[in-house]
Structure formats: C-alpha cells, structure tokens
Amino acid sequence: MDSSSAIMKGIAREFTRWQAKVEERDIISQIHESILGHILSFLPTMEAVRTSVLSKGWIDVWTSITNLEFNDSVPFSGKKMQKEQYEYFVNKVLLHLGNLSTQSFSLCLTSYHYEPSMVSAWISSILEKGVQKLHIQYADKVHFPSHSLFSCNSLVQLALQMTCSLSIPTFACLPNLQTLSISGIKLVSEFPTYSKDLILSFPLLKVFEAKGCEWSTKQNLCIQAPLLEKFSISVWTSLSNEPCKSSIKIFSPHLTDFSYEGDLEKEIILSNPSSVQNASVVIVIDEDRKENMGKLRFQLQKILTQIREVERLKLLLYKVLVNAADIFTRLPAFGKLTYLQLNEVTGEALLNILHNSPRLDTLVLQNGVFDFNKDASTSTSVPQCFVSSLKAFQFKGFNVREHELLLVKFVMANAAILEEMTICTAFWLQYSDIDMEKVKEQILSLPKCSSSLMIQFSQVNGF
C-alpha cells in the first residue's frame, strides 16, 4: 500500500512538471506575433532573423520586427559577409518584412561598393513602410528617392550621411519630423525654372543640422519650423562659379542656437534673430572668390547684425583678413554678449569689437592678434567691458611677439575686475632659443589694474 502510494505521488509530480511545460509552451504560443516581433527588435537584425531556425512556429516571427539595423562591416558568425551574401540578406529581409510600420531603420554601408539602383531601392522600400527613425551612411554616389522622402509623413528622426543630390519640391511638409541631420548632400530644385520660393514645412522640428552640403537651388529656400531650437548649417555654393543670389530663410520664433559655416555666398535670413542666445559663425574664403570681398563684408555685417543680441559668440575667420582687413569697421553693438571667441583679428578690429560689447565677461583669442599698435592702445578710450565686466582672458597661440606683449600689457593695465588671464604659448616655442622664464617674469612684472588677477601659462597642447 505504501509502495503504491509512493508510485502515485511520483507519477503526480511528473505529471505536474509536464503540465507546467505544456502551459509554458502554450503561453508563448499564445503571444501575438507582433509582440514577439517587438521583443526581437531589441536584438541585432541578423540575430533576430536567425530565430527562424528555432522551430516551425518561429519561421516568420522575425518578419514582425520594427527596428532594423544593417551594417556591412559587422561580422556574422565570426566573419564578415561577402558582398553578394550581404545584398541577398538585405533583399530577403526587406522583401519578407511585415506590413507593420517600421520604428527605426539604420543602413551603414562602408565595406563594399553597391549598385546605386539597389541602394535606392532599399531606401524607397523602407520609406514606403512608414519608417519613423531613418539613418543612412553611404559614401558612394546614389540616386536618392527624393519624392519618397518628402512623402514619408511618419518620419520623426532623419540622418543622412551620403553623396547624393536631394531634389527639393516647391512645397513639402514632414509633419512629425523632430530632428534633421544631413551631411555631404547637394540640394537642387526639382523645378529649376520655378520662380517662387521653395518651402519646407516642419511643424515639430527642433533640431536642424546640415554639414558639408552644397546648396545649388536658384530659388530662395524657406524653412518653416515654429518649434526649432537649434539650427546648424554649412553652406557651400555650387562649384560651377555661377553667381548664386538665392537665400535661405528660417522662420523659427524660438531659435536659441545658431551655427553658420561657409563662404557667405548664400544669404541667411532669420525671422526672429533676437531669440538666439548662442551663435557660431565660421567664414572660409575661396582664393578664387577674392574679388567678392565687398559683398563678403556686407554679408558678414548683415549676419552679425541679425544675431547682435546673442550672449555667446564664436567668430572664426579663415583667409578673410588677408584680403579684407577692414571687415570689422562697421559692427553692431552686442549689448548682451558675455562670451566671445575669435581667431583671425587685428588689434584695431579687436578694440572695435570690445567697444561694442559692454557686458563681455570672457574673451578668447584662439590665434592671438595680427598686430597691435602702441599708439592705438594709448590714444583709444578703454572699452566699457574692461571697467565693469571682463573677468577672464585667454590668449592662445602666444608667439612672444612685440605686438602680442603690448596687447597683454594693455589688458592688464586697464581690465579693472579681471580675475584670470591664461596665456597659452605656441607649440614651436619649446624648440626655440627664447627664454620663456624671462618672458613670464616680464609679464608678471607688468602693472595690474585688478588686484585679484591670477596669470597662468601653458602650452597650446595642454602640457
């Protein structure tokens, strides 16, 4: 009797275990395929597709994944795929993908050269599936499906690092786009003979970044983005040397960060520049366009006038003062400016800027100054910021030239509340015969207007 009872209990235990396994299997089988696809979306795409070999019930589960990531440099089973294998893999995934909208799609092609039509087909396919986040990185030229892009209303984030032309329609609206980043793209007009402005409407856009792009539209381009906070653009005109008189207009009442890099051939117009708090302006002049210095001077003054209420400004000029030394003769007053960084600047231009920046707190000279006239420093009045606000001065690229020492002396003698002066000596000085200890002693012995001034010396590279 006891032995029979023990046997029954053993059978009951085994049945309970078997029942638990069956129930567990049933629970998994009852989960909707879309949910399983969502779970698989957290895996790398290759690994998600590999789950099809688990069982017959898993053969098509991966087709419901919503996050796709393709990178031809990532190894598969310990080694990198061959080009033909990778093309087959991408084509297979996109062909069998379900009808659910795709949350994110990333395509990074750096290992092989692909047929432009194939890459274009891949991009078109994913745009037609209502993708929300799209990132593409590909260095070779490709025909980008512009119409599919501007018809994809589901886009929330868009990042394109490509060598291609993007055709701008007369009007386009991406109603859900919040972040836009493009690099290396040539923007052209879909209808070159169209006489009115091209309009891009982004009702929810907050960040716009365009780096290393060539803007070749003959019409004005209007960007309507009422929620835009950050706008960063590098504008290079067409390499055809044809005059380009069109402009880029940004309608964004809440813009706080503005960054421009280019040759000023294309005018930038801000609808509400008074909202900008932080600005960066980098101007690079092509040697073949030196004859346009008059226009350059006018355009620089216009862009600086627009952002005259900024609090922080980085103004970097390359090959500009060599061809237009008087570019700073007419400057707006920067009534709110507290931080200023410059690279190419003459002594006269520096004094002009300082006089127009009464609230300046920090001044950074990235490459010192071209000159500093002793007579000018003694005859001119002391800038207001020296008396009431300037607390930090950084002099980078210090070469121990006489005019640089005159500038240091002028600042020390007139900056009444200066707290910190940092002099970063040029790298080459450590290999020269100049006795830097004597130079330091000479600077430290100069008269100080501020009793709390601390002077620090360092090399440009930080050592």
Would you report the helix, strand and coil content of the chain in percent, each value rounded to 5?
Answer: 35, 30, 40
- Rounded CA separation 407/345 (Å): 12
pLDDT tens by residue, 437-451: 999 999 999 999 999
- Rounded CA separation 14/345 (Å): 87
Q: Is the separation of the CB atoms in 288 and 310 below 8 Å?
A: no
* Numbers of helices and strands, H then E, in the chain: 12, 20
Chain centre to alpha carbon of residue 242: 28
- How many of the other CB atoms lie within 10 Å of CB of 21? 10
Q: Is the separation of the CB atoms in 164 and 144 below 8 Å?
A: yes
> What is the token pair recorded at 59?
């053969």
The predicted structure's pLDDT at residue 314: 96
Burial of 136 (0-12, 13-18, 19+ CB in 10 A): buried
Give the pTM: 0.84
Burial of 28 (0-12, 13-18, 19+ CB in 10 A): exposed
- Torsion sign over Cα 431, 432, 437, 439: negative
The predicted structure's pLDDT at residue 67: 86
CA Rg value for the chain: 31
- Rounded CA separation 303/268 (Å): 7
- Rounded CA separation 127/151 (Å): 8
Q: Is the separation of the CB atoms in 352 and 332 below 8 Å?
A: no
Sites in the chain below the pLDDT cut of 70? 1-34, 36-37, 52-55, 57-61, 99-100, 236-245, 286-294, 319-327, 375-380, 460-463
The closest alpha carbon to 220, from 163, 266, 260, belongs to: 266
- Rounded CA separation 97/62 (Å): 8
- Torsion sign over Cα 150, 155, 157, 162: negative
The predicted structure's pLDDT at residue 192: 83
The H or E element spanning position 89 is helix 83-96
Q: Is the separation of the CB atoms in 189 and 217 below 8 Å?
A: yes
The predicted structure's pLDDT at residue 180: 97
- Rounded CA separation 268/250 (Å): 8
According to DSSP H, which parts of 261-345 are helical? Answer: 293-306
> What is the token pair recorded at 113?
């050269």
Q: Which residue has the tokens 């290393």?
A: 212
- Rounded CA separation 301/436 (Å): 40
The predicted structure's pLDDT at residue 240: 44
- How many of the other CB atoms lie within 10 Å of CB of 344? 21
Beta bridge partners of 343: none
Beta bridge partners of 199: 171, 222
- Helix, strand or coil for residue 273? helix
DSSP letters along 46-79, please?
A: HHHHHGGGS-GGGTTGGGG--EEEEETTS-BTTB
The predicted structure's pLDDT at residue 436: 86
- Torsion sign over Cα 86, 90, 96, 98: positive
pLDDT tens by residue, 373-388: 776 666 668 999 999 9
Contacts of 54 (CB under 8 A, 6+ apart): none
Q: For residue 360, give Cα distances in angstroms to 345, 376, 389.
A: 17, 21, 6
